[in-house]
A = this chain, B = another copy of it.
Amino acid sequence: MKPETKSRLHKFQPGNHTWSEVTKEAYKDGEGHWCGIDRNTIIGGRGEAANFHLRYFEIAPGGNSSLEKHVHEHTVICVRGRGRAVVFDKVYDLENLDVLYIAPDAPHQLINPYNEPFGFFCIVDKERDRPRKLEKEDIERLDATSETKGKYIGYVEGD
């Protein structure tokens, strides 16, 4: 195979926490309860052969991602501010360079209860299933321990 010239550098721009040649996207077009999130795909969708995508998400103060689950895994690396992750039956506090692995089908939500933006890389498989809403048994598990009860946002029964 001939070597090719498509290597590239995305220069980090500390002033606004963006990367050169990366365009900010909407977090999701679809439904679900979420707010205050930007999404940036850094690696993926440009002809790469790699089996993964690297995205950067930023949650504004008071914002949160969808409460959801899916078979594909998340690898989350905190790189701006700090935040919280509700995963299965635990709550994790995330600070700079902490790495969180979210296992297959674990219900999860990322939350920013702080006063500064919470930014993180999220690495996922290129081929992946769509997120699903939680089922009643997922909510019962979240509500069964004091660690996660009342810590998630936006579940509406029958929604």
- Chain A residues within CB distance 8 Å of chain B: 1-12, 14, 19, 42-43, 48-52, 54, 69, 71-73, 75, 77, 79, 87-90, 92, 94-108, 121, 123-127, 138, 141
Contacts and interface: CB of A to CB of B under 8 A. Distances in A.
Contact of A75 (B43, B88, B94): B43
Contacts of A5: 88-89, 103, 106
Number of copies: 2
Most chain B beta-carbon contacts within 10 A, residue among A7, A8, A88, A125: A7
A31 B64 CA distance: 48
A9 B49 CA distance: 29
B97 A73 contact: no
